[in-house]
Structure 1
Amino acid sequence: MRVAVTGTPGVGKTTATEGLSTDLDVLHLNDLVREADLTEGTDEARGSLVVDLEAVSARLEGRENLLVESHVAHHLDVDRAIVLRCRPDVLETRLLDRGDGEAKAAENAEAEALDVILSETVDRHGVDATYEIDTTDRPVGAVRSDIEAVLAGDRRPSAGTVDFTGYL
Protein backbone atom coordinates (compact mmCIF):
# COMPACT_ATOMS: atom_id res chain seq x y z
CA MET A 1 0.00 0.00 0.00
CA ARG A 2 1.12 3.53 -0.80
CA VAL A 3 -0.38 6.49 1.05
CA ALA A 4 0.02 10.24 0.62
CA VAL A 5 -0.34 12.64 3.52
CA THR A 6 -0.72 16.02 1.90
CA GLY A 7 -2.06 19.50 2.56
CA THR A 8 -1.22 23.15 2.32
CA PRO A 9 2.13 24.09 3.88
CA GLY A 10 1.67 24.61 7.63
CA VAL A 11 -1.29 22.27 8.26
CA GLY A 12 0.88 19.90 10.32
CA LYS A 13 1.87 17.10 7.93
CA THR A 14 5.42 16.61 9.19
CA THR A 15 4.46 16.90 12.85
CA ALA A 16 1.55 14.46 12.47
CA THR A 17 3.53 11.83 10.58
CA GLU A 18 6.50 11.82 12.95
CA GLY A 19 5.97 9.00 15.42
CA LEU A 20 3.05 7.38 13.61
CA SER A 21 2.32 3.83 14.67
CA THR A 22 2.49 2.11 11.26
CA ASP A 23 4.30 -0.65 9.43
CA LEU A 24 4.67 1.66 6.43
CA ASP A 25 7.96 3.40 5.74
CA VAL A 26 7.38 7.12 6.34
CA LEU A 27 9.09 9.34 3.78
CA HIS A 28 9.25 13.10 4.32
CA LEU A 29 9.41 13.91 0.62
CA ASN A 30 10.76 17.44 1.00
CA ASP A 31 13.89 16.00 2.66
CA LEU A 32 14.44 13.56 -0.22
CA VAL A 33 13.88 16.31 -2.80
CA ARG A 34 16.56 18.49 -1.18
CA GLU A 35 19.04 15.66 -0.50
CA ALA A 36 18.78 14.08 -3.98
CA ASP A 37 18.28 17.40 -5.82
CA LEU A 38 14.98 16.31 -7.36
CA THR A 39 14.05 19.83 -8.40
CA GLU A 40 13.44 21.80 -11.55
CA GLY A 41 14.94 24.91 -9.95
CA THR A 42 13.64 27.63 -7.67
CA ASP A 43 10.48 29.69 -7.86
CA GLU A 44 12.06 33.06 -7.13
CA ALA A 45 8.72 34.81 -6.53
CA ARG A 46 7.78 32.33 -3.80
CA GLY A 47 11.28 31.55 -2.58
CA SER A 48 10.70 27.82 -2.84
CA LEU A 49 12.03 24.82 -4.74
CA VAL A 50 10.05 23.48 -7.69
CA VAL A 51 9.74 19.70 -7.26
CA ASP A 52 10.52 17.54 -10.29
CA LEU A 53 7.57 15.17 -9.92
CA GLU A 54 8.74 12.90 -12.75
CA ALA A 55 12.11 12.44 -11.05
CA VAL A 56 10.41 11.79 -7.71
CA SER A 57 8.05 9.24 -9.27
CA ALA A 58 10.98 7.47 -10.93
CA ARG A 59 12.88 7.44 -7.64
CA LEU A 60 9.92 5.88 -5.81
CA GLU A 61 8.97 3.43 -8.57
CA GLY A 62 8.46 -0.08 -7.25
CA ARG A 63 8.40 0.98 -3.60
CA GLU A 64 5.44 -0.34 -1.66
CA ASN A 65 4.46 -0.09 2.00
CA LEU A 66 5.18 3.61 1.84
CA LEU A 67 3.64 6.72 3.37
CA VAL A 68 4.79 9.88 1.60
CA GLU A 69 4.35 13.21 3.39
CA SER A 70 4.52 16.48 1.45
CA HIS A 71 2.38 19.28 0.06
CA VAL A 72 2.93 17.63 -3.35
CA ALA A 73 2.48 13.98 -2.27
CA HIS A 74 -1.01 13.85 -3.80
CA HIS A 75 0.57 14.16 -7.25
CA LEU A 76 2.12 10.70 -6.84
CA ASP A 77 0.55 7.29 -7.49
CA VAL A 78 -0.96 6.19 -4.18
CA ASP A 79 -3.77 3.96 -2.96
CA ARG A 80 -5.07 6.44 -0.38
CA ALA A 81 -4.61 10.18 -0.01
CA ILE A 82 -5.03 11.91 3.33
CA VAL A 83 -5.50 15.68 3.10
CA LEU A 84 -4.75 17.51 6.34
CA ARG A 85 -6.67 20.78 6.67
CA CYS A 86 -6.42 23.82 8.92
CA ARG A 87 -8.65 26.86 9.31
CA PRO A 88 -7.09 29.59 7.12
CA ASP A 89 -6.67 32.21 9.86
CA VAL A 90 -4.92 29.68 12.12
CA LEU A 91 -2.81 28.48 9.19
CA GLU A 92 -1.70 32.00 8.31
CA THR A 93 -0.63 32.61 11.93
CA ARG A 94 1.33 29.32 11.97
CA LEU A 95 3.15 30.25 8.77
CA LEU A 96 4.02 33.74 10.02
CA ASP A 97 5.21 32.28 13.34
CA ARG A 98 7.59 29.93 11.53
CA GLY A 99 9.06 32.78 9.51
CA ASP A 100 7.22 32.72 6.20
CA GLY A 101 6.66 36.14 4.66
CA GLU A 102 3.27 37.84 4.78
CA ALA A 103 2.57 37.34 1.06
CA LYS A 104 3.43 33.64 1.17
CA ALA A 105 1.37 33.09 4.33
CA ALA A 106 -1.62 34.91 2.84
CA GLU A 107 -1.34 32.96 -0.43
CA ASN A 108 -1.30 29.63 1.42
CA ALA A 109 -4.23 30.65 3.64
CA GLU A 110 -6.22 31.57 0.55
CA ALA A 111 -5.31 28.27 -1.12
CA GLU A 112 -6.58 26.47 1.99
CA ALA A 113 -9.87 28.41 1.93
CA LEU A 114 -10.28 27.53 -1.76
CA ASP A 115 -9.68 23.79 -1.17
CA VAL A 116 -6.85 23.79 -3.73
CA ILE A 117 -5.02 20.68 -2.50
CA LEU A 118 -8.26 18.83 -1.76
CA SER A 119 -9.51 19.55 -5.30
CA GLU A 120 -6.25 18.39 -6.86
CA THR A 121 -6.33 15.24 -4.72
CA VAL A 122 -9.91 14.34 -5.62
CA ASP A 123 -9.20 15.03 -9.31
CA ARG A 124 -6.26 12.62 -9.26
CA HIS A 125 -7.42 9.92 -6.83
CA GLY A 126 -11.21 10.22 -6.65
CA VAL A 127 -13.49 10.65 -3.65
CA ASP A 128 -13.28 6.98 -2.68
CA ALA A 129 -9.55 7.22 -1.96
CA THR A 130 -9.48 10.70 -0.38
CA TYR A 131 -9.70 11.37 3.36
CA GLU A 132 -9.86 14.80 5.02
CA ILE A 133 -8.64 15.47 8.54
CA ASP A 134 -9.05 18.89 10.18
CA THR A 135 -6.00 19.70 12.32
CA THR A 136 -7.29 23.06 13.60
CA ASP A 137 -6.79 23.37 17.37
CA ARG A 138 -6.45 19.57 17.75
CA PRO A 139 -3.71 17.77 19.66
CA VAL A 140 -1.12 16.05 17.47
CA GLY A 141 -2.00 12.70 19.03
CA ALA A 142 -5.62 13.02 17.89
CA VAL A 143 -4.54 13.81 14.33
CA ARG A 144 -2.14 10.86 14.38
CA SER A 145 -4.95 8.60 15.59
CA ASP A 146 -7.12 9.73 12.68
CA ILE A 147 -4.30 8.99 10.21
CA GLU A 148 -3.75 5.57 11.80
CA ALA A 149 -7.50 4.85 11.45
CA VAL A 150 -7.28 5.57 7.71
CA LEU A 151 -4.24 3.29 7.40
CA ALA A 152 -6.03 0.49 9.28
CA GLY A 153 -9.14 0.82 7.11
CA ASP A 154 -11.22 1.95 10.09
CA ARG A 155 -12.20 5.31 8.61
CA ARG A 156 -14.36 5.97 5.57
CA PRO A 157 -13.30 8.32 2.76
CA SER A 158 -14.33 11.86 3.65
CA ALA A 159 -13.56 14.29 0.82
CA GLY A 160 -15.64 17.43 1.15
CA THR A 161 -16.33 17.26 4.89
CA VAL A 162 -14.18 20.28 5.78
CA ASP A 163 -15.33 23.69 4.51
CA PHE A 164 -13.34 26.88 4.92
CA THR A 165 -14.90 28.87 2.06
CA GLY A 166 -16.40 31.25 4.62
CA TYR A 167 -12.90 32.68 5.08
CA LEU A 168 -12.76 34.13 1.56
Structure 2
Amino acid sequence: MICISGIPGTGKSTLCRKLNEIGIKCMPANDEAARLDCISGDEVDVDLLRSRMLRVEVVEGHYSHLLDCDAVIILTAPEATIRKRLTERGYSEAKIDDNIESMLAGTIYYEALDRMPASRIFIINTGSADENSVLTEAERIISQMKANNKS
Protein backbone atom coordinates (compact mmCIF):
# COMPACT_ATOMS: atom_id res chain seq x y z
CA MET A 1 0.00 0.00 0.00
CA ILE A 2 1.25 3.46 -0.88
CA CYS A 3 0.44 6.10 1.74
CA ILE A 4 0.07 9.78 0.89
CA SER A 5 0.71 11.94 3.92
CA GLY A 6 1.37 15.55 4.80
CA ILE A 7 -0.01 18.25 7.03
CA PRO A 8 -3.41 19.77 6.22
CA GLY A 9 -3.35 22.01 3.17
CA THR A 10 -0.65 20.23 1.20
CA GLY A 11 -3.00 18.69 -1.37
CA LYS A 12 -3.55 15.11 -0.20
CA SER A 13 -7.27 15.04 -0.99
CA THR A 14 -6.74 16.72 -4.36
CA LEU A 15 -4.05 14.20 -5.31
CA CYS A 16 -6.23 11.29 -4.16
CA ARG A 17 -9.13 12.56 -6.29
CA LYS A 18 -6.81 12.95 -9.32
CA LEU A 19 -5.42 9.43 -8.85
CA ASN A 20 -8.96 8.02 -8.80
CA GLU A 21 -9.70 9.93 -12.02
CA ILE A 22 -6.86 8.11 -13.81
CA GLY A 23 -7.80 4.70 -12.44
CA ILE A 24 -5.47 4.40 -9.44
CA LYS A 25 -7.72 3.60 -6.48
CA CYS A 26 -7.03 6.02 -3.65
CA MET A 27 -8.98 5.95 -0.43
CA PRO A 28 -9.12 8.65 2.27
CA ALA A 29 -7.92 7.13 5.55
CA ASN A 30 -10.61 9.02 7.48
CA ASP A 31 -13.34 7.36 5.39
CA GLU A 32 -11.89 3.93 6.18
CA ALA A 33 -11.51 4.82 9.86
CA ALA A 34 -15.17 5.84 10.05
CA ARG A 35 -16.34 2.78 8.09
CA LEU A 36 -14.35 0.44 10.34
CA ASP A 37 -15.44 2.20 13.55
CA CYS A 38 -11.93 3.32 14.48
CA ILE A 39 -12.80 6.87 15.56
CA SER A 40 -13.34 7.86 19.18
CA GLY A 41 -14.48 11.46 19.59
CA ASP A 42 -12.42 13.25 16.98
CA GLU A 43 -9.38 10.97 17.21
CA VAL A 44 -8.54 8.04 14.95
CA ASP A 45 -7.24 4.94 16.72
CA VAL A 46 -4.42 4.24 14.26
CA ASP A 47 -3.51 0.88 15.83
CA LEU A 48 -7.11 -0.31 15.55
CA LEU A 49 -7.37 0.99 11.99
CA ARG A 50 -4.13 -0.79 11.07
CA SER A 51 -5.51 -4.07 12.45
CA ARG A 52 -8.88 -3.79 10.70
CA MET A 53 -7.95 -2.21 7.39
CA LEU A 54 -7.65 -4.35 4.30
CA ARG A 55 -4.84 -3.61 1.90
CA VAL A 56 -5.72 -0.94 -0.61
CA GLU A 57 -3.64 0.43 -3.46
CA VAL A 58 -3.26 3.99 -2.14
CA VAL A 59 -4.51 5.65 1.04
CA GLU A 60 -4.29 9.32 1.96
CA GLY A 61 -4.43 11.09 5.29
CA HIS A 62 -2.22 13.12 7.58
CA TYR A 63 -1.57 10.00 9.69
CA SER A 64 -1.50 7.45 6.84
CA HIS A 65 2.30 7.11 7.15
CA LEU A 66 1.62 5.31 10.45
CA LEU A 67 -0.27 2.51 8.68
CA ASP A 68 1.34 -0.56 7.08
CA CYS A 69 2.79 1.24 4.05
CA ASP A 70 5.09 -0.14 1.39
CA ALA A 71 6.08 3.46 0.64
CA VAL A 72 5.10 6.96 1.73
CA ILE A 73 4.64 10.04 -0.41
CA ILE A 74 4.83 13.13 1.79
CA LEU A 75 3.32 16.29 0.34
CA THR A 76 4.76 19.63 1.41
CA ALA A 77 4.33 23.24 0.36
CA PRO A 78 5.93 26.58 1.22
CA GLU A 79 4.92 28.04 4.57
CA ALA A 80 3.11 30.99 2.95
CA THR A 81 1.06 28.63 0.78
CA ILE A 82 0.05 26.49 3.76
CA ARG A 83 -0.79 29.57 5.82
CA LYS A 84 -3.03 30.90 3.02
CA ARG A 85 -4.80 27.56 2.44
CA LEU A 86 -5.45 26.90 6.12
CA THR A 87 -6.61 30.47 6.75
CA GLU A 88 -9.12 30.03 3.91
CA ARG A 89 -10.34 26.86 5.67
CA GLY A 90 -10.90 28.77 8.90
CA TYR A 91 -8.07 27.28 10.94
CA SER A 92 -6.99 29.28 14.00
CA GLU A 93 -3.56 30.93 13.97
CA ALA A 94 -2.42 28.53 16.69
CA LYS A 95 -3.51 25.48 14.66
CA ILE A 96 -1.85 26.88 11.52
CA ASP A 97 1.37 27.51 13.45
CA ASP A 98 1.30 23.97 14.93
CA ASN A 99 0.90 22.41 11.48
CA ILE A 100 3.62 24.55 9.91
CA GLU A 101 5.97 23.79 12.80
CA SER A 102 5.32 20.07 12.30
CA MET A 103 6.08 20.35 8.59
CA LEU A 104 9.26 22.39 9.10
CA ALA A 105 10.49 19.95 11.76
CA GLY A 106 9.96 17.02 9.38
CA THR A 107 7.73 15.22 11.88
CA ILE A 108 5.96 13.08 9.28
CA TYR A 109 9.24 12.19 7.56
CA TYR A 110 10.85 11.05 10.82
CA GLU A 111 7.75 9.11 11.89
CA ALA A 112 7.78 7.35 8.50
CA LEU A 113 11.53 6.74 8.83
CA ASP A 114 10.85 4.87 12.09
CA ARG A 115 8.73 2.44 10.04
CA MET A 116 10.69 2.05 6.78
CA PRO A 117 13.96 2.88 5.02
CA ALA A 118 14.46 6.34 3.54
CA SER A 119 14.51 4.79 0.05
CA ARG A 120 10.75 4.23 0.36
CA ILE A 121 9.91 7.77 1.49
CA PHE A 122 9.27 10.36 -1.22
CA ILE A 123 8.62 14.09 -0.88
CA ILE A 124 6.66 16.16 -3.39
CA ASN A 125 6.43 19.94 -3.01
CA THR A 126 2.93 20.89 -4.13
CA GLY A 127 3.34 24.63 -3.64
CA SER A 128 5.22 25.42 -6.83
CA ALA A 129 3.75 22.72 -9.07
CA ASP A 130 0.37 22.49 -10.75
CA GLU A 131 -1.97 19.60 -9.92
CA ASN A 132 -1.05 17.66 -13.06
CA SER A 133 2.69 17.85 -12.33
CA VAL A 134 2.07 16.56 -8.81
CA LEU A 135 -0.13 13.79 -10.24
CA THR A 136 2.55 12.81 -12.78
CA GLU A 137 5.24 12.60 -10.08
CA ALA A 138 2.99 10.60 -7.73
CA GLU A 139 2.00 8.25 -10.55
CA ARG A 140 5.70 7.70 -11.36
CA ILE A 141 6.46 6.85 -7.72
CA ILE A 142 3.47 4.51 -7.43
CA SER A 143 4.44 2.69 -10.65
CA GLN A 144 8.05 2.40 -9.47
CA MET A 145 7.00 0.96 -6.11
CA LYS A 146 4.60 -1.52 -7.75
CA ALA A 147 7.39 -2.70 -10.05
CA ASN A 148 9.79 -3.05 -7.10
CA ASN A 149 7.25 -5.10 -5.13
CA LYS A 150 6.83 -7.55 -8.04
CA SER A 151 10.54 -8.27 -8.28
TM-score, scaled to structure 2: 0.86
The corresponding residue for 1:13 is: 12
Give the alignment's Cα RMSD to 1 decimal: 1.7
Which 5+ residue runs of structure 2 have no aligned equivalent? 146-151
The corresponding residue for 1:51 is: 44
Determine the C-alpha separation between the residues in 2 that align with 1:17 and 1:40.
Answer: 25
2:15 and 2:131 in contact (8 A); partners too: yes
TM-score, scaled to structure 1: 0.78
Determine the C-alpha separation between the residues in 1 that align with 2:36 and 2:83.
Answer: 30
Task: Determine helix, strand or coil for the equivalent of 1:74.
Answer: helix
Question: 1:71 is matched with which residue: 57, 62, 73?
Answer: 62
1:142 aligns to 2:133 (yes or no): yes
Which 5+ residue runs of structure 1 have no aligned equivalent? 42-48, 155-168
2:36 and 2:49 in contact (8 A); partners too: no
Higher helix share: 2
Per-residue CA shift, 1:40-86, capped at 9, x if unaligned?
Answer: 33xxxxxxx2110122112214x2x5201000000011111111111
1:89 and 1:109 in contact (8 A); partners too: no
Mean Cα displacement is larger for which, 139-148 or 81-90?
A: 81-90
Identity %: 29
Which 4+ residue blocks in structure 1 deviate beyond 2 angstroms?
31-37
Determine the C-alpha separation between the residues in 1 that align with 2:68 and 2:31.
Answer: 19
Number of equivalenced pairs: 143
2:32 and 2:53 in contact (8 A); partners too: no
The corresponding residue for 1:88 is: 79
